[in-house]
C-alpha cells in the first residue's frame, strides 16, 4: 500500500524495544513545577504542601502516567515543560529509538480508547489493578516508516490547530450574542415567565425507570450519566474540594473567623491554581473580565409575604406537609404556584406566597400519611345522574348512539361518571 508515493509497509515491534523507563528522584535543589496527570493531560497536583522530596523528575518529550488509572487513559505527553516533577506513584518513560518511532506518533497511538481498554485488561489481577511500564513493554505496535508517521502527525496537528481556531471564533461569537441579548433585555419590556413554564414533579412511582436511567446535568448543559466527572467536570466535586482542602482538620471557633480564613485560603490557594481546561489562573482571568461586567437590570421582584418555607401545589390540588396531605379548592393549582403553611396553635392556613390569599384552613394533623380536607367538596350533588345525562344527550343529534356510549362509560368508569358529565 502507498500513501502519496510513500511505502505503507508496516513493521511490528515490542514497545519495550522502543522505550525506556525514567527513574530519577527530585533532589530539592532547583525549584521545579509539580504536576499531576489526567486523561486531558497535565493538571495541578491535588495535594497542597505535599512532601516533594520523594517526587519523580520528568523531562520534555517524556510520557507520565498514573498506574492506577490507566483504564481511564490517565497518561500525559510532555511537550511543554523542559523539566518538572510529579508524584512518586507515577511512572515515566521516553522513546529511546527515535529512528523507528516518532514521539508524537506514539502519543497518537496511546491516546486511543482502544489502548485504554487494553491497559485495563492487562492490569486485571494485579495489586489494585496497577498497570506499569513493564506491562506496556509487552505491547505490540505496527509501525509505518518515519515519513508516513510524520504525515499522520502533521495531519493531526493541522486538525488540532483548526479546532482551536474555531473555538476562539466561537468564543468571540458568544460574546457578540451575549451583548445582543443584553441590549434586548434593556430595550424590551419585561414579562413574568411563570405563565409560560410549568413545574414538572412527575415521580417514578411505578418504577418504570431503573437506576441506569438516572441522569445529571453536565457543564455543557447536557444530560449525562450519574457519577460521571469525565462528562460533568470538576464542578460536581466543588464542595468536596473545599471540605478536603480547606475545612479538613481546621478548628472551628466561630462563623466570622471561619469565613475570613476561607476567603484567605481562596486568595492564597483556591483561586490561584491553574484551571485544568483553560490553563489559566481564575483570579487573573476574573480581574480582566470584571471590567466588562454590567449592573443587574432593575427588574420588579415579587417579595414574599413572610419568610416561611414555601411548598408547591400538586396537580390534584394537594400540598404535602410534614408527611400529610392537605387539600385546597379545585382550580387552585397553577404551574409554578407555591404556598406557605402558616401554623397558629392547632390550625394551619394555606397562604399564597405572592398575594397572601388564604386558600384553605385546616386542623393541624400530628399523624402521618393522613388526607386533611373535605373530600370532593367541589362536586355538585344537587342534580341527579338522570338529569345530567339528559342535558348531555340533548347536545347531540344522534341521541340513540350517545345513550349507548354513556351506558358503556357508566359501566366501565362508574367512579368518574358524574364528574365527566
Q: What local confidence, expressed as pLDDT, does residue 228 receive?
A: 57
pLDDT at 111 over 50: yes
pLDDT at 257 over 80: yes
Residue 130 pLDDT? 81
pLDDT of residue 386: 83
**pLDDT at residue 223 tops 80:** no
How much of the chain, in percent, has pLDDT values that exceed 70?
84
Per-residue pLDDT of 4-43, as tens digits, reads 445 567 899 999 999 999 999 998 888 898 998 988 889 8
CA distance 383 to 332: 25
Residue 274 has pLDDT above 60, yes or no: yes
pTM of the model: 0.41
Q: pLDDT, tens digit, for every residue of 171-218?
A: 777 777 777 777 877 788 877 777 778 877 777 777 777 767 777 665
Most confident of 265-269, 283-287, 356-360: 356-360
Highest mean pLDDT among 115-119, 193-197, 413-417 belongs to 115-119
Q: Are 31 and 57 in contact (CB under 8 A)?
A: no
pLDDT, one tens digit per residue, over 54-110 is 899 999 999 999 888 888 888 999 998 899 999 888 999 999 999 999 999 999 999
**Comparing 215-229, 355-369, 383-397, 406-420, which segment has the lowest mean pLDDT?**
215-229
pLDDT band, very low/low/confident/very high, at 237 (cuts 50, 70, 90): low
219 φ, ψ to 5°? Answer: -70, -15
Q: Which of 171, 27, 17, 35 is nearest to 96 (CA)?
A: 17
Collapsed DSSP state (helix, strand, coil) of residue 2: strand
- Map grid coordinates 493531560 to a residue: 41
> What is the C-alpha to C-alpha distance for residues 63 and 41, in angstroms, rounded to an integer?
10
Q: How confident is the model at residue 2 (pLDDT cuts 50, 70, 90)?
A: very low
Domain residue limits, the chain: 2-150, 225-301, 310-372, 385-420
pLDDT one-digit tens code per residue, 121-180: 877 655 456 888 988 998 999 999 999 999 999 998 888 888 777 776 777 777 777 777
% the chain with pLDDT above 90 = 23
Write the DSSP assignment of 123-177 as a string of letters: HTTSGGG---HHHHTT-EEEE--HHHHHHHHHHHHHHHHHHHHHHHHHHHHHHHH
Model pLDDT, residue 417: 79
Give the tens place of pLDDT for each residue, 331-378.
Answer: 889 888 999 999 888 899 999 988 889 999 999 998 888 899 876 555
Q: Which of 358, 353, 366, 360 is nearest to 318 (CA)?
A: 360
| Top CATH class, 2-150 | alpha beta
From start to end of 183-317, where are the E strands?
215-217, 223-225, 310-312
Amino acid at each position: 500500500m502507498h500513501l502519496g508515493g510513500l511505502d505503507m509497509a508496516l513493521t511490528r515491534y515490542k514497545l519495550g524495544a522502543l522505550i525506556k523507563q525514567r527513574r530519577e528522584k527530585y533532589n530539592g535543589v532547583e525549584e521545579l513545577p509539580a504536576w499531576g496527570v489526567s486523561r486531558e493531560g497535565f493538571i495541578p497536583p491535588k495535594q497542597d504542601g505535599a512532601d516533594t522530596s520523594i517526587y519523580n523528575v520528568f523531562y520534555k518529550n517524556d510520557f507520565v502516567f498514573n498506574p492506577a488509572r490507566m483504564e481511564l487513559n490517565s497518561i500525559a505527553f510532555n511537550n511543554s515543560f523542559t523539566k518538572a516533577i510529579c508524584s512518586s506513584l507515577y511512572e515515566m518513560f521516553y522513546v529511546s529509538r527515535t529512528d523507528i518511532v516518532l514521539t508524537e506518533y506514539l502519543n497518537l497511538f496511546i491516546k486511543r480508547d482502544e489502548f485504554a481498554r487494553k491497559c485495563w485488561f492487562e492490569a486485571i489481577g494485579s495489586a489494585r489493578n496497577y498497570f506499569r511500564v513493564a506491562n506496556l513493554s509487552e505491547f505490540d505496535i505496527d509501525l509505518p516508516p518515519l515519513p508516513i508517521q510524520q504525515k499522520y502527525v502533521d495531519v493531526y496537528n493541522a486538525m488540532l490547530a483548526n479546532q482551536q481556531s474555531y473555538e476562539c471564533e466561537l468564543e468571540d461569537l458568544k460574546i457578540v450574542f451575549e451583548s445582543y441579548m443584553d441590549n434586548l433585555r434593556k430595550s424590551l419590556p419585561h414579562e413574568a415567565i411563570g405563565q409560560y413554564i410549568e413545574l414538572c414533579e412527575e415521580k417514578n412511582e411505578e418504577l418504570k425507570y431503573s437506576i441506569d436511567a438516572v441522569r445529571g446535568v453536565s457543564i455543557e448543559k447536557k444530560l449525562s450519566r450519574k457519577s460521571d466527572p469525565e462528562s460533568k467536570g470538576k464542578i460536581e466535586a466543588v464542595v468536596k474540594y473545599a471540605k478536603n482542602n480547606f475545612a479538613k482538620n481546621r478548628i472551628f471557633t466561630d462563623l466570622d473567623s471561619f469565613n475570613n480564613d476561607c476567603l484567605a485560603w481562596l486568595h492564597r490557594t483556591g483561586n490561584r491554581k491553574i484551571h485544568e481546561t483553560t490553563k489559566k489562573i481564575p483570579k487573573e482571568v476574573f480581574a480582566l473580565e470584571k471590567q466588562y461586567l454590567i449592573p443587574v437590570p432593575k427588574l420588579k421582584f415579587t417579595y414574599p409575604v413572610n419568610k416561611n418555607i414555601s411548598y408547591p401545589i400538586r396537580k390534584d390540588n394537594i400540598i404535602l406537609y410534614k408527611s400529610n396531605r392537605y387539600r385546597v379548592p379545585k382550580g387552585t393549582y397553577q404551574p409554578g404556584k407555591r404556598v406557605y403553611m402558616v401554623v397558629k396553635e392547632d390550625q394551619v392556613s394555606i397562604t399564597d406566597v405572592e398575594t397572601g390569599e388564604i386558600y384553605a384552613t385546616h386542623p393541624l394533623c400530628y399523624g402521618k400519611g393522613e388526607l386533611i380536607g373535605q373530600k370532593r367538596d367541589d362536586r355538585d350533588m344537587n342534580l341527579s345522574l338522570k338529569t345530567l345525562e339528559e342535558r348531555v344527550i340533548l347536545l347531540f343529534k344522534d341521541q340513540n348512539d350517545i345513550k349507548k356510549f354513556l351506558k358503556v362509560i357508566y359501566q366501565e368508569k362508574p367512579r368518574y361518571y358524574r364528574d365527566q358529565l
